[in-house]
Amino acid sequence: MTTFKALLLSKIGTDTGNSFTSNVIDIEDTQQPEEGDVIVRIDYSTINYKDALAITNKSPIVRKWPLVAGIDGAGVVESSNHPKWKVGDKVIMNGFGVGESHWGCLAQRAKLKGDWLVKLPDSFTTKQAMAIGTAGYTAMLCCLALENHGVKRGQGEILVTGASGGVGSVAISILSSWGYEVVASTGKVHEAAYLKSLGAKEVIDRAALSQVGKPLQKERWAGVVDSVGSHTLVNACAQTKYRGVVAACGLAQGADFPATVMPFILRGVVLAGVDSVYQPLAVREEAWARLATDLDRTKLDTITTIISLTESISKSVDVLAGNIRGRLVVDVNR
């Protein structure tokens, strides 16, 4: 009988009187759900904001109990009944409800659907892929949204909110490497040197954006990558230039959007929503290919901290408190 280590989330009882547990335990291979057709030996996983919500049970992310956590994983195919994948292939898993309604990748082994997997670009290690993870891949989707909606270098500054977080850190790195002038909005102004090392030309205090503001404000941004939502997103739209583009992917401040339509109907501002979970394969492959060619690996090392499977539990609390800088990569074999 073979076993593997995994971070298992369990809930026993009713909605009103339940007990939630989050533990690293040994699971027998035979206990894995039947739904996958590829078994992947996971090298690395990661803690995204959504993982932190699931691991601490702070939000109803988990749809099926018990569940192995982890929306991201990178590793090597151990066995496959899927025509696209063979033993030894290196793969990346992001989204598709893995770590939410399907067993996830904060584990030494994961049984996944071959249709969900993306080939690891040759130039990346599995560790680098998880230093990027869903946060970094979503950052690329946001940057591509600006590019696809026609935001060009030289048209003005690009605002990145939640700058010291995973999405924010990678977005700054990508946009600066593409030649855009990036302004980083952060609650950690003491991290200004870090944000500038990633490519921000200016760092602003997020307090300037997080309160109620006027529906239309002085035009400043040619584009915005927002992972924060709420008043920050509203103010970012209100400060976006005529025909500018705001890519919105997150809710670190809040899921509310207490806005007026003024920026959209008077300035033609485009609000581009970005989802990473159910993007079609072709879009995923494009995003990963652009990450492989455009992302500076030395910057990736700067933003990454490696932790163990067990440390994932305590670090999730820090993620939700906004105390983490950059990306947490989980070495599932440590």
Residues interacting with ligand NAP, by CB under 6 A? 48-50, 134-135, 138, 162-168, 186-188, 206, 210, 227-228, 232, 249-253, 274-277, 319, 322, 324
Q: Which is nearer to ligand NAP, 128 or 186 (CB)?
A: 186
Nearest to 262 by CA among 232, 242, 289, 284: 242
> Contact 42/75 with Cβ under 8 angstroms?
yes
The smaller minimum CB distance to ligand NAP, of residues 173 and 210, is found at 210
CA distance 51 to 313: 10
* Nearest by Cα to 7 from 48, 55, 75: 55
Q: Per the structure block, which two tokens stand in for 193?
A: 């040197």
For the bound state, the minimum distance from the C-beta of residue 199 to ligand NAP, rounded and expressed in Å, comes to 15
In angstroms, give the least distance from the CB of 74 to ligand NAP: 16
Is the CB of 227 or the CB of 240 nearer to ligand NAP? 227
Contacts 24+ apart (CB under 8 A), 317-321: 317/52, 317/56, 319/47, 319/49, 319/51, 319/52, 320/49, 320/52, 320/53, 320/56, 320/58
Cis previous bond, 121, omega within 30? no
Question: Which is closer to ligand NAP, CB of 4 or CB of 96?
Answer: 96
At 241, give phi and psi (nearest 5°).
-70, 165
Q: How far is the CB of 12 from ligand NAP (least distance, A)?
A: 27
Nearer to ligand NAP, 80 or 185 (CB): 185
Nearest distance, CB of residue 210 and ligand NAP, angstroms: 6
Shortest Å, Cβ 290 to ligand NAP: 16
Q: Which amino acid is at 103?
A: W
Indicate the residue whose CB is closest to ligand NAP. 165
46 vs 80, which CB is nearer to ligand NAP?
46
Cβ at position 328, least distance to ligand NAP in Å: 8
Among 72, 74, 71, which Cα is nearest to 99's?
71
- Which neighbouring-strand residues pair with 74? 44, 92
Tokens of 6: 């995994």
In the complex, the smallest distance separating the C-beta of residue 325 from ligand NAP, rounded to whole angstroms, is 7
Residue among 6 and 252 whose Cβ is closer to ligand NAP = 252
Rounded distance between C-alpha atoms, residue 291 and residue 297, angstroms? 10
CA distance 197 to 55: 31
Nearer Cβ to ligand NAP, position 39 or 117?
117
Find the shortest distance in angstroms from Cβ 127 to ligand NAP: 18
* Pairwise CA distance, residues 282 & 295, whole Å: 19
Q: How far is the CB of 162 from ligand NAP (least distance, A)?
A: 3
Residue with smaller CB distance to ligand NAP, 32 or 185: 185
CA angle 304, 306, 307 (to 5 degrees): 140
